Chains A and B, each alone.
Chain A
Amino acid sequence: MATRGQGSLVHALDYLPLLAFALFFYAIPICYVLASINVQELAGLLNDPYVLKLIWNTILQAVASTIPSIVLAIPVAYFFANYAFRGSKIVRNLLLTPFFVPAFAVTEGMIIMLGERGLVNQFLELILGTRQPVSDVLYSVTAVVMTHVIYYLPLAMLILEQGFSSVDQDQLDAAHVSGADWLTTLRVVYLSHLVPFLAASAILVFAFSFITYSTPILIGGKFTTLEVEIYSTRTRSVSSSLAIIQLAMTLAISVLVMAFRERTYKSSLGSARPLSREEGQSHTLGRRALLVYCILVAVIELMPVYLVLVQSVSQSAVVLFPTSISLEGFSALFAQEFGFGVGFIDVLLTSLSIAFVASLCSVLLSILIAWRGLQSKRARESTGLLLSLPLSISRSSLALGMMLSYGFGMLQLYGSWILFILGDIALIVPLIFRVIEASWLRIGSEVREAASTFGASDLYRLFRIELPLIAPAVASSFMLAFSSSISEFTFANFFSTLNLMTLPISVATLLDLRKFGPAAALNAVIILIVVAAEVTSPAVSQEALRVM
C-alpha cells in the first residue's frame, strides 16, 4: 500500500529524467565553461572595442534579418489564411521548403545565386547592359542577412498565418455588417489580434538569427558574430569568456521568448470562430496581386535549393535550366579525401550511424521525460518550461562546454563519435519532446485516468495504452531527430577531427576549397535524406514548428 509520503517520493521521481537530462547535457558543460573563465579576462573583454563591436554586429545582423523577414511574410500569411485555391497547398508547401532544408544547403544556394557569375549578377547585367559583375554582396553581412531572410521567412509566415487564422470570423462579419471600410477593419479587428503574433515571430526570427552559425561561417566573409568567434577561439581561454557573454545574452532572449509565450501569445490562441477561407479563383485585383506576390516569394524562396540541385547535376556555369546532365559532382565525391584517409563513404556511414543512434537515444529520452512529466500538472509545466530554454540558447557555447567537459574533461571523448551523439541529443530532445508531449496530451487525461482506475500500473498503462496511441508521433519524432542530426553543423564543427567528420562538415570543406560542384552534389544527398525523413512524417513538420 502506497502512503502519502511514498506518493510525494513518486512525484519527486517525476522530475528525475528531466533533471538528469538538464544536468548532464546542459549544467555540467556550462559549469566547465564557467570553471575555465579568467575573471580578469572577462572583465577586460566587456570593455574591449573588438568584442563590443562583435556584440553590436551580432545584434545588428539579427535585427536586419528580422525586419524584412516579417514585413515580407505578412502578405503571404494573410493570403494563405484567407484564400484557398486549387494548388494553394502546393505553393504554400514549396514556400516552406527552405526551412526544412539544412541552413548550409540554402547558404550554398545563396553562394551560387550571389556569386560573380550568379543569377543576380546575370540578371543585373542583362538589365544594365554591362558585362561586368554589378553586385558584390557575396561574403559580406548583406549575404548573411539575405540568407537569413530566405531561411526564416517561412517561420515568420507560419506564425503570422496562425495569427490571421485566429481572427474571429464573427468579428469580421460584424465589422462588414456595420459598414466598416477595409482600413477600419484592419485597425479594429486584425491589428488587435495580430500584435502578439507579430511580436512572437519577430522575437523568434531575432533569436534564431542571433545564434546563427553556419551562415556567417560560409557566406559572411570577414563578417563575424559572437557565435562564430567562440568557435574560432575554441582552443584559447578567451573562448570561455565569450561563451559566457553569449550564453547570458541568449538565455535572456530565451527567457523573453518564454515569458512572452506564457503571458501574451498563448492567450491569443482563443476559441474564436475560424475564418471561412474563400475557395475558388481570385477575382479581385487585390487578390490577384497577392497571388502573384506569393508565387514570386515562393520562387525566390525555392531558388537557392533549386540552384543547389541543378548545380549538383550540371558542372557548367550557373544556369537556371541545365542543357545536359552531368554526374561529375557525385563521382568527384568518391575521389575526394575529406580528412586523413576519410572518403565520402566513410563520412556518409559515420553521419548515418551517428544520426541513427542519436535519434534513437533522443526519442527514448524524450518519451521518458514526457511520460514522467505528464504525471502531474506541475511536473508538466516545469518540464515544458525547462525544455523551452535550450531552443534559442547559444549552440557554440554549449558545444564548447561539451568539448571541455566530455571531450577533454571527465569522459575524454574528443575524437569519438559518441561526443557527436551527445551533442545531437542535447539539441534534439527539446525539439522532439514537444512533438511527443503534444501527441501524449491529445490522448486526454481521462483516458489515462481510466486506465489507472481500472487497475493498470503506470508501466502497464504506458505499454498497453499510451505508447500505441503516440506511436505515429514517436515515429515522426524519430524522423525529425534523424534529419536534425544529419544536418547538424555547429556541434559537428567543434567535435570533428581529421579522422572523424560528418556530411555537413564535408560540405563546408568543399565550399572552403571552392569545389561548388561536389559540394552541391553532397548537399543534394543531404537534402534527399532530410526531405525523405520529413516526407515520411508529414504531421511532424507542423508540430516541430510550434516553437511558440
Chain B
Amino acid sequence: MRLELREVSKRYGKVSVVDRLSFQVPDGKTFALLGPSGCGKTTTLRVIAGLATPDSGNVLFDGADVTPLRPASRNVGMVFQNLALFPNLTVRENVAFPLEARRTAPSQVDSRTSEVIAMLELVELQDRYPHQLSGGQQQRVAIARAISADVELLLFDEPLASLDPSLKTEISEVIRSVQRRLGITTVYVTHDQTEAVLTSDLLGIMLEGRLEAIGETRKIYESPPTERSARFLGATNSIQCTVEATLENHIVVRVLERSLRVPRPRWWESHRNTARLLFRPEVARVAEPDAGIATGKLDSVMFSGERTVARVRTDQGEIECKGDPSSLFEVLSRHVGGDVGVRVGHDDLIVF
C-alpha cells in the first residue's frame, strides 16, 4: 500500500505542531521519521493512524483519501511507545484482538494467531498476561498484535525508547525481519538516528513540524541535504573554507593552505566562493599540528570505554574528536594544552 501525506497541518492551540507536511512512502517500504522531541513526528503518526485529525491536508492510502476515516476503519497496525498491551488479556488474546475486533471467522482467528505467535517466538508465553513478561517479550507481543490482522500499514511510535541497548538491537532485528517477511508499508517514528538507520529504507528528518530532508536512508545519512539535517544526524563539527573549483563530482576547497577534494552535493551551486565543512566527531582524529583540516589547542581528553574523546579549541570554535581508540588515551593525555591538528577522511566531509 502506498502512503501519501499531502500538506498536512496540525495545531494544538496556538502551537503549530505539523506544518504543511507532504511525503510519500512507496508500497512495501519502511520509512523512518527521525526528529528531536516535540518536532511533530508522533503527531504525524497519530494523524496517519486516525488518532488525531489534521486541521488541513489529507492522508491517502493507495491514492484514496482516508482522512475522515476513524482509526478502526483504516486497517493499520501500530506499536505504541508504551506498548499499550491490554493488561486483562493474555498474550494469545492480545494477538487475537485485532482479528476478533474485525469480526474475523473464529477458525481464521485461531490459525492466524498461532501463526503470528510462532513467528514472534511467543509460543511458550501465549497464556501469560503482559505483567508476567519481560520488556523484550512485551515488545514482541506488541509487534505480533500489530501484524496479526491483515493490515496494510504498520506504524511504530518510538517502540524501542524504553529498552536497554542490547534489547534495542534484538528488537530492531525482529522488526526488520518481520517487515521484510511481510512486506508491509511501514512508518517508524524515532528520535534515535541509529534506530532509524537500522530499520528503514527511507529516512525523513523532521524539525519544528516540517520535513527537513527525505530520501533513501543511506544517502540521507551520508549526504544530508541541509545543514540542519546534517547537524541533527550528528555532524556537529564545522569549519569554514574557500572554494577553489567546482568539478563534476567533487568540489575543491582550501583549508589551512591545503587543497582538498570533497564530494559534491547534487544541489551545489557552482558560483559559490566559500563553504562550510561539517563532520561527525566519530570520524575526527587528533593529529600532528600541521596535519589535517584544522589546528588548535588540545583542551581535554576523556576516556569513554571504546573511544577516546578529545576536544580541540580552534580559532573557528571547538571541535570534538571521537575517532581515536581508547588505547591512545594515555598518549593524548600528555598533549593536553599543546598544539594539535584534526584529521578527517575527505569522503567524510559534508559540504554546505
A270 within 8 A of B: no
A337 to B89, alpha carbons, bound, how many Å?
54
Query: How far does the alpha carbon of A1 sit from the alpha carbon of B67 in the complex, in Å?
Result: 11
- Tell me whether B88 is interfacial, beta carbon within 8 Å: yes
Known pairs A1-B68, A7-B68; A450 contacts B101 (CB<8 A): no
Q: In the complex, which residues of chain B have a beta carbon less than 8 angstroms from the beta carbon of A457?
A: 72, 101
Residue among B72, B89, B155 with the most chain A CB within 10 A? Answer: B72
From B51, B72, B85, contact of A455 by CB (8 A)? B72
Q: Contact at A447–B86, with CB atoms within 8 Å?
A: yes
**B145 beta carbon closer than 8 Å to chain A:** yes
Known: A3-B68, A4-B68. A455 touches B86 (CB 8 A): no
Among candidates B72, B82, B102, B145, residue contacting A452 with C-beta atoms closer than 8 Å:
B72
Q: A4-B53, A7-B53, A464-B97 are in contact. Are A452 and B71 (CB under 8 A)?
A: yes
Question: Chain B, 119-149, contact with A by CB distance < 8 Å: what is the 0/1 string?
Answer: 0000000000000000000000000011001
Q: CA A444 – CA B81 in complex, angstroms?
A: 12
- B33 interfacial by beta-carbon distance below 8 Å: no
Question: Distance in Å from the Cβ of A420 to the closest Cβ of chain B?
Answer: 36
Q: Report B-chain residues with C-beta under 8 Å of the C-beta of A462.
A: none
Interface of B is mostly: loop
Decide yes or no whether A451 CB sits under 8 A from chain B.
Answer: yes
Main secondary structure of the interface of A (DSSP, over half): helix
List the A residue with the shortest CB-CB distance to B155. A453
Distance between Cα atoms of A73 and B255 in the complex (Å): 76
Instruction: Decide: A449 and B80 in contact? CB cutoff 8 A.
Output: yes
The contact size tier of chain B is: 35 or more
Determine if A450 and B87 form an interchain contact, defined as CB atoms under 8 angstroms apart. no
Residue in contact with B78 in the complex, picked from A4, A453, A464, CB distance below 8 Å: A453
Q: Mark A435-473, 1 if CB is under 8 A from B, else 0.
A: 000000000101101111111110011001100110000
Which B residues between 94 and 136 are near A, CB-CB below 8 angstroms? 97-98, 100-102
Distance from A87 Cβ to chain B, minimum over Cβ atoms (Å): 32
Question: Once bound together, how far apart are the Cα atoms of A444 and B75, in whole Å?
Answer: 22
Contact B70 A2 (CB under 8 A): yes
What is the chain A residue whose CB lies nearest that of B88?
A468
B159 touches A (CB below 8 Å): no
- The tally of residues in A whose CB lies under 8 Å from a CB in B reads 23
Q: How far is the CB of A137 from chain B (nearest CB, A)?
A: 55
Indicate if the CB atoms of A446 and B82 lie closer than 8 Å. Answer: yes
Q: Are A2 and B78 in contact (CB under 8 A)?
A: no
Note all chain A residues with C-beta closer than 8 A to B75: 455
Is B77 engaged at the interface, CB distance under 8 Å to the other chain? yes
A460 touches B101 (CB 8 A): yes
The reply to whether B88 and A469 form a contact with Cβ atoms under 8 Å apart is yes
Which residues of A lie under 8 Å from residue B202 when comparing CB positions?
Answer: none
Residue contact A2 to B81, C-beta cutoff 8 Å? no
Whether B332 sits at the interface, judged by CB under 8 Å, is: no
Most buried by A among B50, B86, B87: B86
Complex interface: chain B residues within 8 A of A454 (CB):
72, 77-78, 97-98, 101, 145-146, 149
> What's the least CB distance linking A8 to chain B, in Å?
10
Are A455 and B68 interface neighbours, CB within 8 A? no
Chain A residues closer than 8 Å to B68, beta-carbon distance: 1-4, 7
A1 touches B73 (CB 8 A): yes
- Determine whether B163 belongs to the interface, using a CB cutoff of 8 Å to chain A: no
Q: Which of B17-61 touch A at CB < 8 Å?
A: 49-51, 53
Task: List B contacts of A468 (CB < 8 A).
Answer: 88
Chain B 185-211 interface residues, beta-carbon cutoff 8 Å to A: none
Let me know if A449 and B71 touch, CB within 8 A: yes
Q: Top 10 nearest A-B pairs by Cβ distance?
A: A454-B98, A446-B84, A456-B101, A450-B84, A455-B101, A455-B102, A452-B71, A468-B88, A453-B71, A447-B84
Knowing that A453-B78, A456-B72, A461-B101 are A-B contacts, what are 11 other residue pairs whose CB atoms are under 8 Å apart, sorted by A's residue number? A2-B68, A2-B70, A7-B53, A450-B78, A450-B85, A452-B70, A453-B50, A453-B155, A455-B101, A455-B102, A464-B100
- Subset of 24 A-B contacts with CB under 8 Å: A1-B68, A1-B69, A2-B68, A7-B70, A447-B86, A447-B87, A449-B80, A450-B86, A450-B145, A451-B86, A452-B70, A453-B50, A453-B74, A453-B77, A453-B78, A454-B72, A454-B78, A454-B98, A455-B72, A455-B101, A455-B102, A456-B101, A461-B101, A464-B97
